[in-house]
Chain A
Amino acid sequence: MEKREAGAPAPTTWTILRVWTGIGLQSFGGGASTQLLIWRTFADRYGWVEAEELVRFWNLCQITPGINLVALTILIGRKLGGARGIVAALAGLLLPSAAVTCGLAAGFLAVQHDPAVRAILRGVVPATAGIMGLVSVSFARPLWRSVRSEGRRSLAISAVLVPASVLAIVLVRLPVAIVLAGLALLGVALFTPRHGLGPEHPASDPAGEGRAP
């Protein structure tokens, strides 16, 4: 079990399971509700995880394959209870919500040919696209702020790379993994700090100045 800094006493494995089951059952409305509940539960209510640490965890989850919130659950679970904490947190978050999801899907199969249900879905499905649009904007916003502060070169490169990745998937039908790996390599080539104008750690490494433009 990992050592924890000052604050609330360490929860038992059962407590971890119980708390995560509560999150798994209450978070109707998808990832946004889940994330908010995690924040309120662990940082605000119990103080088991510091806010700064939650932010650092979340950043690591962004570059981990798969669902970010599952990765976040794993990191919090490990901090609270080691390997057993991971299992308890994952079981609590995923099993109840997966069961509810199956129940809803089964209910849907029973009524899917009902014209009223089809009509309702024709309203709900495009709404999910709109919500996804907002998720895209939320992801783009912090990126936009740092790109803008870096100047025209960063802005121009980003303005090309984002639409290029969309076209690569939609028109060229390249696999998503290839597109992401390509963007990562282009990121190293185009955004690696030179002359202290890099994206994250300006002038953190003087050796970067020796690299080709």
Chain B
Amino acid sequence: MINPLLYFLLFLKASLFSTGGFSNLPSLHQDLIGTGWAVEAEFGESIAIGQISPGPNGLWVISLGYLTYGLPGAALALLAITLPPLLVLVVATIYGRIERLHWVAGLMRGVSLGVVGILITVCWTILRQPDIDWKGWAIAAAAFGLASNRRIPLIAILGLAAVAGYVLYR
């Protein structure tokens, strides 16, 4: 049985301690699998739906909310991802005051390196799912290569991946 308040707080925590659309994945993964409120497959499915649907990639969390807890889950997820970015108003004010301090550049460098590490763990989290075999890795590599060409729209790459999945796994 899902506790709505705790459910919301887990999503809020994941959003609050993340930067970028997917870096909340490891935290949500730890918590929702731990509480038994989500199963492994729902993460991959939400990311796929989030990739297809319009808007920031971070809206994948709304489909995770919908898949695990229906419309209330989607609404709680939407609220949880809308509140933390409001802190940008505070960040803009503070940064205006401290950007010349000598230690701020080092802090930003540390954060940037951490963000790269977190992005790599997101790829890893998706790719180590049980139903992803060597063909899945090949699709991931092909998508990586195609996406490097800015002129190919992402939706076309996802369409090709869908066709590949249908042909390879049907």
> A residues within 8 Å of B by Cβ?
24-34, 60-75, 78, 90, 93-94, 96-98, 100-102, 104-106, 108-109, 112, 115-116, 118-136, 139-140, 143, 158, 161-166, 168-170, 173, 175-177, 179-180, 182-193, 198-201, 204-205, 207-208
In the complex, A131 Cα to B161 Cα: how many Å? 11
In the complex, A68 Cα to B113 Cα: how many Å? 17
Could you write out 21 A-B pairs with CB less than 8 Å apart? A29-B52, A29-B155, A60-B88, A62-B111, A64-B85, A65-B87, A72-B88, A73-B85, A75-B89, A93-B56, A105-B63, A122-B131, A122-B169, A125-B44, A125-B45, A125-B129, A166-B124, A177-B27, A179-B114, A182-B114, A200-B109
How far apart are A99's CB and chain B's nearest CB, in angstroms?
A: 9
- B120-A93 in contact (CB<8A): no
- A166-B117 in contact (CB<8A): yes
Given contacts A130-B147, A136-B119, A204-B100, contact A71 B88 (CB under 8 A): yes
**In the complex, B6 has a CB within 8 A of chain A:** no
B90-123 contacts to A, CB under 8 A, are: 91-92, 95, 100-123
Best-surrounded residue of A93, A96, A187 (most CB of chain B within 10 A): A187
In the complex, A184 Cα to B110 Cα: how many Å? 4
How far apart are B169's CB and chain A's nearest CB, in angstroms?
A: 4
In the complex, A173 Cα to B83 Cα: how many Å? 26
In the complex, A105 Cα to B20 Cα: how many Å? 22
- A180-B118 in contact (CB<8A): yes
- Which of chain A's residues has its CB closest to B141's CB? A130
**Category for how many chain B residues contact A:** 35 or more
- A102-B111 in contact (CB<8A): no
Given contacts A61-B88, A66-B19, A78-B89, contact A184 B114 (CB under 8 A): yes
Given contacts A29-B153, A31-B21, contact A165 B87 (CB under 8 A): no
- A67-B85 in contact (CB<8A): yes
- Which of chain B's residues has its CB closest to A134's CB? B147
- B105-A130 in contact (CB<8A): no
- B106-A191 in contact (CB<8A): yes
- A100-B166 in contact (CB<8A): no
Chain A residue numbers with a CB within 8 Å of B57 are 30-31, 67
How far apart are B136's CB and chain A's nearest CB, in angstroms?
A: 4
In the complex, A207 Cα to B16 Cα: how many Å? 34
How far apart are A116's CB and chain B's nearest CB, in angstroms?
A: 6
How far apart are A97's CB and chain B's nearest CB, in angstroms?
A: 3
Residue of B19, B91, B113, B136 near A126 (CB, 8 A) is B136
- A204-B110 in contact (CB<8A): no
Chain A residue numbers with a CB within 8 Å of B105 are 191-193, 198-201
B11-69 contacts to A, CB under 8 A, are: 13, 15-24, 26-27, 30, 44-59, 62-63, 66-67
How far apart are A64's CB and chain B's nearest CB, in angstroms?
A: 4
- Which of chain B's residues has its CB closest to A135's CB? B119
